[in-house]
Structure 1
Amino acid sequence: MKTVAMLLYPDFLLLDMAGPLEVFSIANRYLDPGQRYEITTVGPDEDLTRASNGIKVQPDLTLAQADGAYDLLLVPGGPGAYTTQHEGITAWLRGTAHKARRYGSICTGAFILGHAGLLDGHRVTTHWHYTERLLKAFPKAQVGTDQIYIHDRQLITSGGVTAGIDMALSIVAEDHGRKVALDVAKVLLVIMRRQGGQAQFSPLVAAVATQASPITRVQHFILENLEQELTIERLSGLAAMSGRHFARVFTREVGMTPMEFVQSARIDRARSLLESTELPLKTVAYKSGFGSVRHMRVLFSERLGRTPTQYRQQFT
């Protein structure tokens, strides 16, 4: 019997809890009694714990009753993970998580692990919208921005929301083989391994600041003129800087080179057109500044793990 514990806290995301636990529950249908998962929930106290959608859950155990010696200990995400400090929970995690054979988080539950000091020195991930925030909050962690889930030694973390199901399926496959995990995936009507990572859902270019500076002016110019030829010489001229100095300042302030920004912005423009219009690929490529469908297809495959046609199909 393998024990799985889900740690609850006020304002957690119910799907982050229910999705992975359903994977383990359904896996039990295909396992002998001695191999099954024993599922439990742990809360700060005996009171009902309210999820972010208003539903209240009664924990099986309190922190005082749970010793942490589980085969798998998980923390779901939710607004309460990154808006509130849960000192009692993080103190409990700090003292007991290492008793678990494996521990981890779904979505933004990584923030609670981070506050307990459990992300330092590990490769981790979270919901694509919060990866930069996680990196800034816990600089000793190696935050991945695209992976659906990351398994690093004793720690396993997943991307946003339904990625917790992918992570749980990978754990079932590790524990009991791919056949059992595939059977569970079929029951849930999900695929065993989805194509691409979180990048296919997240914008590659963050929102540009509104305050005027030479670099933000260039960023806005790029976003408004993607169909034009955008060279370092032209962009540095707009910023009234030499090409080398401009590239250095741009990279420092934006976190990517000017050409990486241009390329990412063009991919984002193409994605928006593919999602919301039925324009031919040739027109999408032109309006996004790629010049050709072939060039757009190559960059989509490199950055998103799928072709423009495959990307469009998932939104139609």
Structure 2
Amino acid sequence: MPLIRTLLAMLACAVALLAGRAHAQTFGSCTVATASSTLGPAGSFTVASTAQQGSGSSGLGCSAISVATNSYLKVKLESSTFTLTGPGGRTVPFIVSAAPNGTAITTGAEADFSSFDLLNLFSGPGGTVPLYFRTTPTGGLASGTYQGSVNLRWYFSVCTLGVAVCLALSESPGFVRPGLFTTLAWGAGVPVTINVSLTVDKDCAITAPDVDFGTVALVSQFTPKTRTISIRCSADASYTVGLSNGDNYAGGSRRMKLGGNYLRYELYQGTSGSTRWGPSGGERRSSGAADSNPGIHDGSTLQGFTYRAIVDPGQATPVAGRYADSVLVDVVF
């Protein structure tokens, strides 16, 4: 039995090593390995209006670099999803480029880095050659992680030892340097996959018009005012909406203030009834019960929440002047 366990352990190690080689291959001082690039996080409305940009490893890194002789590097984009796929199968298109805001590298196209300054070229994560990713603004997204991939093939011949004369080259398979009797041959290259992801956060856009009760001589002459708060949130995001008690809440009532004087008022849900709209518990309102477009969470449709503002007619008329208060609208997912 101990022998069997030892053999099984050795087999497990061998499998692990083989799996590791599938993700990282070393050629002299250069390594080609699967890499990841993350964009965001960003709110869904930001992703809808603005391209999300970022850089990440292209999978090629060299631990030693010398400029003793010419170096050759190029990468070929063999295939890509060119979209990041997330919740509900929604997608965000993206492009790959060799420089910030650069021209897209398309399927089958190559980017040649041979003329680049090698000492500055390997500036990506972990000393790798960087690539740049840029999304197309896309609306109607749910929050979550969106993922895609890019399959590349690297060809390289890099001097990794020497000062005046190159003493060691790190090369991809089949590479042949140009010489008196040879022509440049890029060889078979080394394939690598770059995983790209974008994190989209929940987001909301809120339009909340002010309430102006106007000017009257007596408190009893104020008339109720009806307003509607419009809200649009990320796709698939249900939520509740609350209204704070304002800056001058006391004795169970919202109050407008002028100096040391107060004017009681209240905000009620809907165009009729006496259900208070407040900040917690049953006083909050659900997106599934909005007054307009209830339960529609597609990221683009506005939902309306109507309320009625009333000045308490039973209070004494305070000193004349402009009374004001501020109420915060909050959305909880």
Q: TM-score, normalised by structure 2?
A: 0.21
More strand by share: 2
Larger helix share, 1 or 2: 1
| Structure with greater contact order relative to length (CA < 8 Å, sep ≥ 6) | 2
